[in-house]
Structure 1
């Protein structure tokens, strides 16, 4: 099991979770942060610091966001396991489902 970021993170990317993650497994996409399912050690440090409550343990995901387990995993299909978000840097893309979400009004 792993932790998963969900829709409230889109266009927020607060990064408090990144600062708390002891294994550097939270990667930055263009509009959202993604937790690498193979690198996450299930410590839970990220969950309480998220200001928009966008991080859930996989077994505790609300039904409306259950598809975000696959979205987080699929984000890494081409990236593989870089071995740390800091050295990988921000990525200029998102999972297609996230990229397709409407942008907030300016």
Structure 2
């Protein structure tokens, strides 16, 4: 089990969770943030600081966002386990489900 970032993060990418993560396992894609399922230590530090309530423990993910467990994993299919997001910076890609979403939020 791991934590998952769901749809409310798309086009928001607040990064408060990134600052809070003690193991640097939250990576930034073009439109959303993603938690590496193998690097996450399940500490839960990211969840309470998310201003849009997009982070859930996998078992607590609302039904409408269940697909985001797979979306988070797909983000790392070609990337593997780099051992920390900080060294990579923003990656200009997202899994197909996120990439296909219409623009979210304001503006």
- TM band (smaller chain): over 0.9
The alignment's C-alpha RMSD in Å is 0.8
- Per the alignment, residue 42 of structure 2 pairs with 42
- Equivalenced residues, count: 106
More helix by share: 1
Measured against aligned partners, the alpha-carbon deviations of 1:2-47 in whole angstroms (never above 9, x if no partner) come to 0000000000000000000000000000000000000000000000
State the TM-score, normalized to the length of structure 1: 0.98
Give structure 2 stretches of 5+ with no counterpart: none
State the TM-score, normalized to the length of structure 2: 0.97
Give structure 1 stretches of 5+ with no counterpart: none
- Per the alignment, residue 73 of structure 2 pairs with 73
